[in-house]
Every structure is written in C-alpha cells, then in structure tokens.
Amino acid sequence: MTITLNHTIVPAVDSERAAAFFAGVMGLTYAGKDRHFAPVRVNEQLTLDFLTVDGPVGLHLAFDVDPVTFDQILARLRTEGVPYGSRPDEPGNGRTDHPLCARGLYFVDDARNLYELMSPA
C-alpha cells in the first residue's frame, strides 16, 4: 500500500477565519465547520483541519503547484494584499525567486502558519 497523508490539524487563532483565508488564497472551497474542525479539502488525498487553539504555534506546510495554479494564487495574494516572499525568514519581500525551484513563495496566516508554494516554471 502506498502511504499518503490523509489529513493534518492546522492550529489557528480562529479556525473558520483561517480555513476561509487559506481556501480563498489557494482557490479551494471552504464549506463550513464540521464539529470542532474547519476542514478544507486540498485534493482527493488531503484535508487540512483547522482548529482554534490557545497560543497556536505555526506549522510549515509546503505545496507543489503547476505554473498556472501558481500564477492564480499569486494574483489572489496580490489582490487581497497578502504579503508574500521568496524566503521563509522574509515572507513579505514580494519576490518569487525560490532557491529550490523555478518559482516559489511563502505567506503567513494569523497563527504564524507558514505556507510554501513551489512551481517548476
């Protein structure tokens, strides 16, 4: 059997706001709370379950995306005024020159979760 990640819990200051923010930036759907989680289906194999916690400690979540998806996400970040950058220690430098791929960027949410996007072109 192949091992795949089914879901992970993402700490949040406000789970619903965090889920809506992530879904909006990534072009995904947030359908509302499910019990105490605010789930966002990333693809058929992965769901991110946002959970409100006291004093959340941010995670690093990295995603491979194709060039078209990268451009769409970058456009949404710019439209929404969300800072992004090419380095994890400078997620607001406004650059997309990533050391591991042709183009990449980082952005951060309220809980200091660091989202990384990597694109081959």
Cα gap 112→57, rounded to integer Å: 7
Structure tokens at 46: 């992965």
| Average pLDDT for 8-30 | 98
Q: Residue 5 is which amino acid? A: L
Q: Is 27 left (phi over 0), alpha (psi -120 to 50) or beta?
A: left
Cβ proximity of 87 and 106 under 8 Å:
yes
**Could you state, in order of their start, the residue ranges of all structural domains in the chain?**
7-119
User: Which DSSP category does 54 fall into?
Assistant: S
Calculate what percentage of the chain has a pLDDT beyond 90: 91
Report the predicted TM-score, pTM, of the whole model to 2 decimal places: 0.93
Q: Write the CB contacts of 51 (distance below 8 Å, at least 6 apart in sequence).
A: 9, 10, 11, 12, 15, 36, 37, 38
Q: What is the CATH number of domain 7-119?
A: 3.10.180.10
User: How do residues 27-61 score in pLDDT, each as one tens digit?
Assistant: 999 999 999 999 999 999 999 999 999 999 999 99
